[in-house]
C-alpha cells in the first residue's frame, strides 16, 4: 500500500542545512494501523507530510496506492491527494462553517453534486457519532467533537489512506480513548490504511498493529507492537515502553528498598500474551523454598495480546533463588535481575 525508499528531507536555514528525515525506508501494508513514535524534533511530522507531498522530498521515492508521488504532475497530485485523508492535532476546521459545511468542503472542491454531497455528509456524521450536531459551529463543540468533524472531513472523498498528525495530543485521556476507538472502528468498517504519528506510547499500544520509532530523522526500531513491547532494543524504545508498562513510582519504590539491609533479589518479570494471566508466582513459591513479595506491577493490553511487567522482591538461599529464576525463564517469562545482595 505505502512504500518509502531512501526518503530524505533537508531544510535550508540561516544556520545551515537541517536534515529532518534521513534516508528512511518504510513499508505499510493495506488495512494496517501503523504508528510512528518519537519525541519532538525526531522528524515524524515531516515524514507524514511527505506522504501526501505537503513537503517535497529532497531525495527518494514515495509510493502510495500504486502511485509514485514524487513523479506526478500537479494535476495528477491533486487527484492522488483525494485518496489520502489527513487529520491534525489542532483540528484545522473552518470556524465560519457548520459541521456539515466543514465535512462537505472537500466534496465541493471535487465538484460533487448537491444531492450526492448531502447524502455523503449525513453518512459521515452518523459514522463519527455526531448525529444532531450538523448545524453546530466548531466553537460550540468539545475537543473530541471537533476531532470527529476532522475525521469525517478527511473521509469525505473515500480515501484509501488516513494520516493522523498527533491527532489526540490536544485531548484529555478519556476523549483520546474515544477517538482511538473510532479510528479502530473506521479501520475495520472501511478497510482503511491508517498511519499515525505520536509521542504517546498509550496511543501505539491501544490501536496499532506495527510501530516505528524515530530519532534524529531515522527509523531506529520497527516491528509488531507486541514484539517491540516484549523486547525493545534501543534506549529510546525502552523509554517509550516504560510509559505504559511501569507505574511512575516503580524506580522510587525500588530505590527506597535499596537502603534497607537484608533486601533480596529484586526481579523484573515480563509476561507476554496469555502468560500475563498465569498464576506463576504461586507456582514458584510452592516449588521453591523462597519468599516473594510484589513491589509493583502493571498489565497493558495491545491489539495482539497482553503485556505484563511485575517487580518482585525474592528472599531465600542464593542457590535456590537462582534455581527459581531458571525455572521462571523455562516458563517463557523474561527475567531481569534489577538488584541483589
Look at residue 280 in the predicted model and tell me its pLDDT: 85
How far apart CA 27 and CA 2 sit, in angstroms, is 6
d(CA 132, CA 130): 6
Q: What is the three-class DSSP state of 32?
A: coil
Average pLDDT across the chain, whole number? 89
What is the band of 95 on the pLDDT scale with cuts at 50, 70, 90? very high
Report the Cα 14 to chain-centroid distance in Å.
34
Task: Set out the domains of the chain in order of their start, with CATH numbers.
Answer: 2-241 (3.40.50.300), 246-339 (3.30.70.260)
Of 300, 273, 143, residue with least CA distance to 207: 300
CA distances from 224 to 32, 33, 79, 201, 211 (A): 11, 11, 32, 14, 6
| Prediction pTM value | 0.83
Q: What does the pLDDT look like over 18-53, one tens digit per residue? A: 999 999 999 999 999 999 999 999 999 999 999 999
Q: In the predicted model, is pLDDT for residue 175 greater than 70?
A: yes
- So what's the pLDDT on residue 189? 93
Amino acid at each position: 500500500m505505502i512504500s518509502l525508499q531512501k526518503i530524505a528531507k533537508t531544510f535550508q536555514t540561516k544556520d545551515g542545512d537541517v536534515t529532518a528525515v534521513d534516508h528512511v525506508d518504510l513499508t505499510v501494508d493495506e488495512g494496517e494501523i501503523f504508528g510512528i513514535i518519537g519525541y519532538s524534533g525526531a522528524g515524524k511530522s515531516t515524514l507524514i507530510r511527505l506522504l501526501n507531498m505537503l513537503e517535497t522530498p529532497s531525495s527518494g521515492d514515495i509510493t502510495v496506492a500504486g502511485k509514485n508521488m514524487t513523479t506526478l504532475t500537479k494535476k495528477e497530485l491533486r487527484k492522488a491527494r483525494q485518496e489520502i485523508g489527513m487529520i491534525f492535532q489542532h483540528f484545522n476546521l473552518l470556524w465560519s462553517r457548520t459541521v456539515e459545511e466543514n465535512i462537505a468542503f472537500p466534496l465541493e472542491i471535487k465538484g460533487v453534486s448537491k444531492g450526492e454531497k448531502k447524502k455523503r455528509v449525513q453518512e459521515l456524521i452518523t459514522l463519527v457519532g455526531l448525529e444532531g450536531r450538523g448545524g453546530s459551529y466548531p466553537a460550540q463543540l468539545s475537543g473530541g467533537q471537533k476531532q470527529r468533524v476532522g475525521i469525517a472531513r478527511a473521509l469525505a472523498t473515500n480515501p484509501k489512506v488516513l494520516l493522523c498528525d498527533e491527532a489526540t495530543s490536544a485531548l484529555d485521556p478519556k476523549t483520546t480513548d474515544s477517538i482511538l476507538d473510532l479510528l479502530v472502528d473506521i479501520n475495520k468498517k472501511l478497510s482503511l490504511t491508517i498511519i499515525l504519528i505520536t509521542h504517546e506510547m498509550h496511543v501505539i499500544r491501544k490501536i496499532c498493529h506495527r510501530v516505528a520509532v524515530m530519532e534524529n530523522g531515522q527509523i531506529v526500531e520497527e516491528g509488531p507492537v507486541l514484539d517491540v513491547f516484549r523486547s525493545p532494543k534501543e534506549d529510546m524504545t525502552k523509554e517509550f515502553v516504560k510509559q505504559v508498562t511501569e507505574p511512575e513510582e516503580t524506580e522510587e519504590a525500588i530505590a527506597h528498598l535499596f537502603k534497607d539491609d537484608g533486601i533480596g533479589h529484586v526481579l523484573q518479570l515480563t509476561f507476554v500474551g496469555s502468560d500475563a494471566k498465569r498464576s506463576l508466582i504461586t507456582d514458584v513459591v510452592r516449588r521453591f523454598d523462597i519468599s516473594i513479595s510484589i513491589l509493583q506491577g502493571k498489565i497493558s493490553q495491545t491489539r495482539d495480546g497482553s503485556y505484563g511487567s511485575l517487580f518482585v522482591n525474592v528472599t531465600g538461599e542464593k542457590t535456590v533463588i537462582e534455581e527459581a529464576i531458571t525455572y521462571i525463564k523455562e516458563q517463557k517469562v523474561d527475567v531481569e535481575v534489577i538488584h541483589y545482595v
